Amino acid sequence: MSTTTFTLLIGTLILGQIVGFVAWGLSRQRARYRALERQGAEFGALDPMGRTAADQPLDTSSTPALTGAPGPAWSGERDFVVQRRVIEDGNASVCSFYLVPADGAPLPLYRPGQYLTFKLDVPDPAGHATKQVVRCYSLSDRPRADMYRVSIKRVPAPPGKPDAPPGIASNHFHDRIQEGSRLSVRAPSGHFHLNEDGELPIVLIAGGIGITPLLSILNTLAHWADPREVWLFYGVRNRGEHIMKEHLESLCDSHPEFRLQVCYAEPSEEDIPGVDYQHQGWLDIQLLQRTLHFGRYEFYVCGPPPMMEMLVPALEASGVAPEDIHYESFGPASLTKRRAPAPTAVSAPVAVRFSQSGKTVQWDPAAESLLELAEDQGIRVDSGCRAGSCGSCQTAIESGEVSYQQTPDADVKPGHCLLCITTPATDLTLAL
């Protein structure tokens, strides 16, 4: 072969590679653009603020104090009516509630993975007085302009404590919230959500009811026909707990980029390996390492505290960059405190004054947070997540300073603090 022919051959090969790479990039951009266009077309005519996904992609995050982003889609509570209830699992312990706005006005966008905060009036067991409770529930479907969906698991008394009262809000939903019931709901919020502009393949890791925000992400990606490869690892005890089984399987059948890996920790005799589930045992890092190809992924993890506390550090230890791991716990978990900024040590005893209750107490270093201190004094404080996510416990500081045990997920208004994740840094007066 002459030098000229050889040079031409090499040149052609390099050119071919460049053309292939550019074509691949363009096809990804076209798919993303088509998805945004579709989203814009769906919401453009309906969004009350005139936003479209194309000019403001799914941004309803309510984080003005921290990021300068726009505020919540509505302030305070908005009334919704339950249009439909659907039991989602064999044990009948998870129920989806489809919510439509009572005013009939179109719903604003949210980011897949975000949650709603509910203010509920729950009657006491005798049915006389009502108690107000605030709880967060993840949106479990893709963003739609006509309705929202949440999927709620009934929470029993903890194992070994049969005399303890069962979960207040979840049982209230299951037992009393029927089609036609009205609910007071705060706007979607939360920082655990899909990175819409990401390029990396996605790994969703769900334990039990932790699948709800990941379902929202999965349904959105399917709706967009997003070109990214998506893995869903889903751990439950057995088929009785396996929610939306047919839906998940049909998503995988119809989307070649989706891969479903289900783990049953305690399969029953009727559960069929290879059909109902792919792996027996708990979902762990070894399974991820065995199953995933080499390369970089974006991980989204949501599950019970023991799973999170085991998996998230294991992902980091196996070399996944922290910015590629997104996670959320449904409540207080030691994991949320793992990356916390160190609290400011209080060197001298400090006094906490609750001005509206007329109480002054010495800070108790054994207390976990100002929320706990207030509750110990019999002071009524709204709380939902108790983990800095929902903003329910936000309280005005009249004087003094607080230390945060972790970075708040909810918005914090100037001059306010989230009691559930703060301790006093100086003598303090709170508007409580």
Asked whether position 159 contacts ligand FAD by CB under 6 A, the answer is no
- Please calculate the CA angle 84-214-405 and round it to the nearest 5 degrees: 110
Structure tokens of 306? Answer: 């023991």
CB 305 within 8 A of CB 333: yes
Asked whether position 187 contacts ligand FES by CB under 6 A, the answer is no
* Distance between CA atoms of residues 380 and 62, nearest Å: 25
Whole-Å CA distances, 380 to 123, 142, 390: 17, 36, 17
In the list ligand FAD, ligand FES, none, the entry touching 363 (Cβ below 5 to 8 angstroms by class) is none
Q: Quote helix, strand, coil % in the chain, to nearest 5.
A: 30, 25, 45
CB 227 within 8 A of CB 27: yes
* Distance between CA atoms of residues 180 and 388, nearest Å: 32
**52 vs 61, which CB is nearer to ligand FAD?**
61
Asked whether position 388 contacts ligand FES by CB under 6 A, the answer is yes
Give the binding range for ligand FAD (CB under 6 A) out of 46-54, 144-152, 289-297, 317-325: 144-152
Structure tokens of 68? Answer: 């300068």
Residue 379 C-beta: closest distance to ligand FES, Å:
14
Residue 191 C-beta: closest distance to ligand FAD, Å:
10
Asked whether position 383 contacts ligand FES by CB under 6 A, the answer is yes
Give the binding range for ligand FAD (CB under 6 A) out of 4-12, 70-78, 95-103, 163-171: 163-171
* Distance between CA atoms of residues 37 and 281, nearest Å: 42
In the list ligand FAD, ligand FES, none, the entry touching 242 (Cβ below 5 to 8 angstroms by class) is none
Residue 418 C-beta: closest distance to ligand FES, Å:
5
Asked whether position 109 contacts ligand FAD by CB under 6 A, the answer is no
**53 vs 370, which CB is nearer to ligand FES?**
370
Give the binding range for ligand FES (CB under 6 A) out of 91-99, 169-177, 202-210, 387-395: 387-395
Asked whether position 330 contacts ligand FAD by CB under 6 A, the answer is yes
Asked whether position 287 contacts ligand FES by CB under 6 A, the answer is no
End-to-end CA distance of the chain: 88
**239 vs 386, which CB is nearer to ligand FES?**
386
DSSP 400-415: S-EEESS--SS---TT
Residue 390 C-beta: closest distance to ligand FAD, Å:
6
* Distance between CA atoms of residues 213 and 190, nearest Å: 11
* Distance between CA atoms of residues 332 and 423, nearest Å: 16
Asked whether position 166 contacts ligand FAD by CB under 6 A, the answer is yes
Q: b/e map of 65-83 (b: 16 or more CB within 10 Å)?
A: eeeeeeebbbeeebebbbe
CB 87 within 8 A of CB 174: no
Residues within window 337-396 making contact with ligand FAD, judged by CB under 6 A = 385, 389
Give the binding range for ligand FAD (CB under 6 A) out of 153-161, 227-235, 341-349, 396-404: 153-161
**How is residue 273 annotated by DSSP?**
B
β-bridge partners, 362: 351
Residue showing the smallest CB distance to ligand FAD in the complex? 167
Residues 6+ apart with CB under 8 A from 375: 381
Rule CB under 6 A: choose which of 410, 428, 430, 432 binds ligand FES: 410
Give the binding range for ligand FES (CB under 6 A) out of 78-86, 245-253, 334-342, 388-396: 388-396
Rule CB under 6 A: choose which of 46, 66, 168, 346 binds ligand FAD: 168
* Distance between CA atoms of residues 120 and 122, nearest Å: 6
In the list ligand FAD, ligand FES, none, the entry touching 310 (Cβ below 5 to 8 angstroms by class) is none
Structure tokens of 73? Answer: 């889609």
**170 vs 394, which CB is nearer to ligand FAD?**
170
Nearest to residue 211, comparing CAs of 254, 242, 180, 239?
242
Give the residues lining the site for ligand FES (CB under 6 A).
383-386, 388-393, 410, 418, 420
Give the residues lining the site for ligand FAD (CB under 6 A).
115, 135-138, 150-153, 155, 157-158, 161, 164-171, 190, 209, 212, 328, 330-331, 385, 389
